Amino acid sequence: MTKKTKEHFYSHLAQTSDFPIGLEIDYATSCFFYIKDGRRIVDFISGIAVSSLGHRHPKVVQAIKDQVDKHLHVMVYGEFIQKPQSDFAGLLASQLPESLQRIYFTNSGTEANEGALKLAKKFTKRSKLIGCLNSYHGDSHGSLSVTGRGVYRDPFLPLLPDVHFLKFNSFENLNLIDESTAAVILEPIQGEGGIVPAEQDWLKAVRHRCSKVGALLIFDEIQSGFGRTGKLFAFEHYGVVPDILCMAKAMGGGMPIGGFASSDEIFEVFKNDPPLNHVTTFGGHPVSCAAGFANLSVLLEENLIERAVLIEHKIKSKLKGKGIVEVRGKGAMLGLELESRALTQSVVEAAMGKNILLGWTLHSNTLIRLAPALTIPEEVLDEVLEVILDLIALFKNK
């Protein structure tokens, strides 16, 4: 690491923890980071479920270069017709149900959730919001308000009022969803909560209850979207369609972009009383939309969504034995639950010593996040799984 770069990183960049990973990236390609000291690191978490096509997919890079030669930002979102926005919205809508044909582009996932919460409150003219325990929806105030874990909420109280929480996958207290509820927001597969998929009957019950009382159902698919679970969106596994769908992370092939989709009827309320009542300067940036269009095109044309299922089968079939509690999740959004915090920490740290980047989730210190690129070469996937098994055996026997 160059002395000046290192000095500026630690002295002038706001730090998010006392122990950043601290790798100085030279470049990245496919499923690898190349760092300044010459090492090649296998990225087995895809930038936290962002780089589903791997790093710098040629078609995404070319789309970015082509758009840069035309124009960058020209006007705040929604005022000018810009081909990258229109084309991406059209392609995305073609893959979504009839009730999710309008897309509002944002810069990030938490902004998508913020917009969805505002849209639900304005459409229903209600204020009550319901989230789920152990959920994670982002760190801005609205998203944090519906995040169901006190350790992240408590330092920033008071947050939004009239927010309540259901126990995920529990039929208890579904009557909390009542005629005063604007929206229920949940992840079909809880990500930071431990890679916990919703149960079919429970998700259908939540959908039924929302429909019965006139509350909107919001699915946060920021981490589970764009092919990671073996479907374009995880809700397709369940046959349950939300009123509002939030997305980001893998949406832009490595470029920053998010969005939320809903119906013509629901989005109508954003147009008046007053006009421009939810706006963004950089949302749907043309370069990000061009990258997003290329990213989604590759996912569809190269059958990479189906490859997520093959990755799931291989990982679940190989990762068995002493020290492993379970491998849960869908597609290439998996969590490896180990027997103890000490074992989990030892495996993650030792894997880094073998040039493999694994990760923990925010809410579970016994869970290793497994989120490889959908394009990961077969031999690299096999190698990583063998290393993980060897490390578990090594530290389990100590």
Residue 326 has pLDDT above 80, yes or no: yes
What is the rounded average pLDDT of the residues 181-210? 97
* Band (80; pLDDT cuts 50, 70, 90): very high
Residues 395, 323: Cα–Cα separation, whole Å: 9
CA-atom Rg of the chain in angstroms? 21
Q: pLDDT tens for residues 289-303?
A: 999 999 999 999 999
**pTM: predicted TM-score of the whole model, two decimal places:** 0.96
Q: pLDDT tens for residues 329-361?
A: 999 999 999 999 999 999 999 999 999 999 886
Those residues whose C-beta lies under 8 Å from the C-beta of residue 3, and which sit 6 or more positions away, are: none
Res 6: pLDDT: 87
What is the rounded average pLDDT of the residues 103-125? 98
* Band (362; pLDDT cuts 50, 70, 90): low
Q: pLDDT tens for residues 228-260?
A: 999 999 999 999 999 999 999 999 999 999 999
What is the rounded average pLDDT of the residues 356-373? 89
Residue 1 has pLDDT above 60, yes or no: no
Written as one string, the DSSP assignment of 360-373 is E-SS-TTEEEE---
Contact 332, 311 (CB under 8 A): yes
What is the rounded average pLDDT of the residues 159-171? 98
Q: Which residue, 83, 34, 151, 106, is CA-closest to 281?
A: 106
**Which regions of the chain carry the CATH code 3.90.1150.10?**
3-57+303-396
Q: Which residues of 257-281 are buried (b: 16+ CB within 10 A; e: fewer)?
A: bbbbbbbeebbebbeeeeeeebebe
What is the rounded average pLDDT of the residues 257-272? 97
What is the rounded average pLDDT of the residues 180-195? 97
Res 16: pLDDT: 86
Q: pLDDT tens for residues 19-74?
A: 888 899 999 999 999 999 999 999 999 999 999 999 999 999 999 999 999 999 99
Q: pLDDT tens for residues 41-52?
A: 999 999 999 999
CATH number, domain 59-301: 3.40.640.10
239, 264, 108, 352: CA torsion to nearest 10: 20
Res 97: pLDDT: 98
CATH number, domain 3-57+303-396: 3.90.1150.10
Res 398: pLDDT: 74
Average pLDDT along the chain: 96
Residues 273, 287: Cα–Cα separation, whole Å: 31
List residues bridging with 328 in a β-sheet: 335
Burial zone of 169 (CB within 10 Å; 0-12 exposed, 13-18 middle, 19+ buried): middle
Q: Which residue, 231, 217, 220, is CA-closest to 123?
A: 217
**Which regions of the chain carry the CATH code 3.40.640.10?**
59-301
Res 364: pLDDT: 80
Residues 99, 266: Cα–Cα separation, whole Å: 10
Res 397: pLDDT: 81
- 181-186/216-220 β-pairing: parallel
